[in-house]
Structure 1
């Protein structure tokens, strides 16, 4: 609303179309605008439910009767991919704090989550059965407030005259799986977000050297980009080969005799052929991204770091893990953020097994990482340690999971860098096979599931990851009888997860209530 309201110049020859969230702030700005209209007609479209009092405010303001229509189009979320959405909530750290620390802030956080979830189900034309993670107060609150909206306050709007209970909403807490957002990634989409950052499908490369001007801000969309859609879940090695194949095809057409053996060779070749950039802009974009990521991988020694990360996440062996982490802490080529993540991953896995060695790692981290905030690893354990978690994060509680892990170990792993499987995969399996325990994931109200749900929205309070989005897409492809949708408050990479953790720790330290 700000841009539209900033000028008072009359434009009576124009018609105005507004598409906006029905937030209190937006409705008030629109009210002031309608009191002194600039345009001949106003066509108002809202991305979510417009409440009766808000409609009354707008009607009272429209004394000149310039409003021609008011409609709701349910899109109060950012659809990143066909099965993945985010709400882009700014104060994402709120989910880690008790409500008493900032009641208005927590209310705002929960309201935004409920609004976004409601909009998704209105777009799907479904009213779901609702379940939540028992150990999370914030997940429970969001689930209960969503149920109140769907079954009481707006029950008519959500009555789609279909067989009820064919869809499910499961609200879970990011802290049940703190490992996934801490890991380095090696599949294309997830890797770009981890090393460079993706915001609403856009990648900003302006801060990087040797990037062509026309590639400094690029779009990565599986809907618009065929190459990206085909390669977004591919590992880094296969991706490089696929890009080389496309560049080789053009090289053959251009009758160039250059030998292209590395990503750097491909980047130079592309920059020397402006006509290639014009006709194959997509591939140019992907060469630029892969070239930049290759540089970061080498600079931060991520292949070395990531191998230990994956072992910490997927295999047991405390003594070997301690030795590997200690060795990397002593390696001057390893960055501070990578050292911090390694100690966090070790702490999450072995917090009960080796408290003495864990303290040694804390001290080592503090001495070799100047930026390390004292107590951040301990704060993570307080938030997401073994006593706080519901799911079987390391597959060592449930006999079936133990057997699975043993079988995987005997077969060997196809790619050591992508062997980790998010906890979300187990959750999806539990839903499909009817094994999700009511004691751990209770229902809201008395709306019971009849058989297997057809549409499932899993909402992660605290944020999703692209690794989890990949799991959902692959699971949907392999199981056509059920559709999973993944959503969350933000899309995380390790940097954002650590920022949220640090902000929550800062507020906790300064609060007199906690």
Structure 2
């Protein structure tokens, strides 16, 4: 039970379905500030809360006037002694049976991917002097989430951060202070030969990945429709039943999704067809009921049949809706140019012509125009600024939703002078050789050829090539050799394309396990919204 805005219910919902909770004899789920006053002393209450001062006050009021016979309190992170004292003093009715710390102060949306769902995610782009309280608040929340991950893993890591990012340095240093000083005994787990690694990096080091259209199932759903806490709202889908307007996409609760979440759109369509054919076969066998024995078998397997029916309907609806959006927005044409800008050695003249042709297409959506111009600006930032100005003016002449100045906001926040990594694989000899080999080998799918910068980062960690000068260690806690466990936290948000990269890396079984985390899970709309917020705050500061 937790106030809705703090979303502790979401932390539970991504790992347990409603039916699984019922199997555990959990019959009622509500927030701690629920208006219900009916006394139910025959029930026990299990309360799961973040250990904030606000929640402690909520809990104090609840146990002062208890509705349930017993209260079992679980906090998702470290509980202060002062908070325990407040709860002890309030428990006059002696209904609190236990108080425990259960470290789950994050949303585990997939086995190797977690998020914090931070509100006001744009704050990470602010200089600390601009709004110190907001920057400190978001920094504190990231420190709490990261520390909870390592408490859950029962490990204390060596910590590195991106040198060019002040917010990454700040988060890394505060995590180190918590783990090695303030709460050192709590993190004093059994030592292993090699400490895990925590690497804190900045979203602005790779602004390309959240701007691209996606063509693998999970990433594509988030880009075109949106995923929130593993739930997808498809209200705009044509001919959709009410019960299908919000569906769950969870690799833990849906075997078809687990098997296909990283498949490209073409293969996904064939796999869905096979699933539909299998379902139809089961439907025909269920119609052939002639004896009592047939009837008994039908009744026994009916729940499974209903579940399969719901699953088939869900995935067919999802793919049908995405196909509609792809056709409507002509995304196959747009995406091919995006991929060329993001990862091919396309010349500026050819890129300029391709982008201009798309901008002249009256059927193109504003968000697609803006993303193309941004990708062009990032790729050719140091070349011929007059051509970029032509694009910006073109956007200004027909843009209603987005301010064309957003292109320059992006360059100011994430331009080449602000980035650490070799985003386009041009600086480093190894990256140039790899790009050349990839070009000679050819790409099976032109729409999924892009690899996020995170791929190079993980490769550098695995091979022991992550440069100390670019990613320094915090304090004296150095690490020699290849770590077996790595947690990479992206300040500003992760993407599902990067989560796929991590999953592929772990599937390769090369001796290093990677976990990806971030302040939010981005798609292009969310990334652009964060840039808009920063642009607005920048104008306000000038005024």
Q: Provide TM-score, normalisation by structure 2.
A: 0.88
Task: Look up the match of 2:425.
Answer: 395
CA apart distance, 1:372? 2.7
* Cα separation, 2, equivalents of 1:323 and 1:405: 24
Counterpart of 2:32? 4
**Which stretch shows the higher mean deviation, 52-61 or 174-183?**
52-61
Say whether residues 1:367 and 2:397 are aligned partners: yes
The equivalent of 1:125 in structure 2 is: 154
1:335-366 Cα deviation digits (max 9, x unpaired): 10000000000000101012111111111111
Give the distance between the partners of 1:131 and 1:483, measured in 2 at CA: 17
User: How many residue pairs were aligned?
Assistant: 495
Which residue does 2:234 correspond to in 1? 205
2:178 maps to 1:139: no
Picking from 427, 451, 463, the partner of 1:433 is 463
Of the candidates 251, 262, 276, which is equivalent to residue 222 of structure 1?
251
Aligned counterpart for 2:499 among listed residues 466, 469, 473 = 469
Matches of 2:193 and 2:171 in 1, distance apart?
21
- Partner residue of 1:184? 213
- Aligned mates of 2:83, 2:492 — CA distance in 1: 30
Deviations 1:427-481 (A, max 9, x none): 0011111111111001011011132111100000000000000000001111341
Alpha-carbon distance between aligned partners in 1 of 2:420 and 2:193, rounded to the nearest angstrom: 28
SS at match of 2:184: coil
Equivalent-residue separation in structure 2 for 1:338 and 1:456 (angstroms): 35
1:340 corresponding residue in structure 2: 370
Mapping of residues 50-65 of structure 1, within 5 Å: 50-65=79-94
Say if 1:97 and 1:508, in contact at 8 Å, map to a contact too.
no
User: Where does the alignment leave 5 or more consecutive residues of structure 2 unmatched?
Assistant: 4-30, 286-303
- Cα distance in 1, alignment partners of residues 380 and 149 from structure 2: 39
> Secondary structure of 1:402's match?
helix
- Does structure 1 residue 282 correspond to structure 2 residue 311? yes
Q: Decide whether the 8 Å contact of 1:134 with 1:441 is kept in 2.
A: yes
Q: Structure 1 residues 38 and 279, CA, compared in 2 at 3 Å: closer, same or farther?
A: closer
Helix, strand or coil for the counterpart of 1:356? helix
Equivalent pair of 1:203/1:220 in contact (CA under 8 Å) = yes
Cα 1:235/1:4, change in 2 over 3 Å:
same
Match of 1:85 among 114, 121, 124: 114
Q: In the superposition, relative to structure 1, how do residues 487 and 279 fare at CA in structure 2: closer, same or farther (>3 Å)?
A: closer
- Counterpart in the other structure of 1:353: 383
Query: Structure 1 residue 206: deviation in Å?
Result: 2.0
Q: How far apart, CA to CA, are the structure 2 residues paired with 1:484 and 1:385?
A: 28
**Aligned partners of 1:277 and 1:284 also within 8 Å:** no
Could you say which residue in structure 1 is the equivalent of 2:412? 382
Aligned to 1:421: 451
Q: In structure 2, how many angstroms separate the alpha carbons of the residues matched to 1:127 and 1:253?
A: 51
Matched, 1:443 2:473: yes
SS at match of 2:383: coil
Determine the structure 2 residue equivalent to 1:489: 519
Instruction: Quote how far apart the aligned CAs of 1:159 are.
Output: 0.6
Question: 2:98 matched to which residue of 1?
Answer: 69
Q: Report the counterpart of residue 321 of structure 2 in structure 1.
A: 292
Mean Cα deviation higher: 298-307 or 348-357: 348-357
Q: Which segment drifts farther, 16-25 or 191-200?
A: 16-25
Partner of residue 260, structure 1: none
Which runs of 5 or more structure 1 residues have no equivalent in the other structure?
Answer: 257-274
Aligned CA distance change for structure 1 residues 17 and 308 (closer, same or farther; 3 Å): same
**Residue in 1 that maps onto 2:70:** 41
- For residues 233-272 of structure 1, the aligned pairs below 5 Å read 233-251=262-280
Question: Which residue number in structure 2 is paired with residue 172 of structure 1?
Answer: 201
Give the equivalent residue in structure 2 for 1:270. none
In 1, Cα distance between equivalents of 2:135 and 2:309:
47
Aligned-pair distance for 1:255? 6.7
- Residues in 1 aligned to 2:307 and 2:83: alpha-carbon distance in whole angstroms: 49
Cα RMSD between the aligned structures? 1.7
Q: Does 1:17 align with 2:46?
A: yes
Tell me if 1:161 matches 2:190.
yes
Give, in whole Å, the separation in 1 of the partners of 2:434 and 2:239: 46
Name the SS for the 1:430 alignment partner. Answer: helix
Distance (whole Å) between structure 2 residues aligned to residue 126 and residue 233 of structure 1: 29
Deviation at 1:280, TM superposition (A): 2.8
* Cα deviation 1:244-280 (Å, max 9, x = unaligned): 1222334456679xxxxxxxxxxxxxxxxxx986643
Equivalent residues of 2:160, 2:200 under 8 A apart = yes
Partner of 1:152: 181
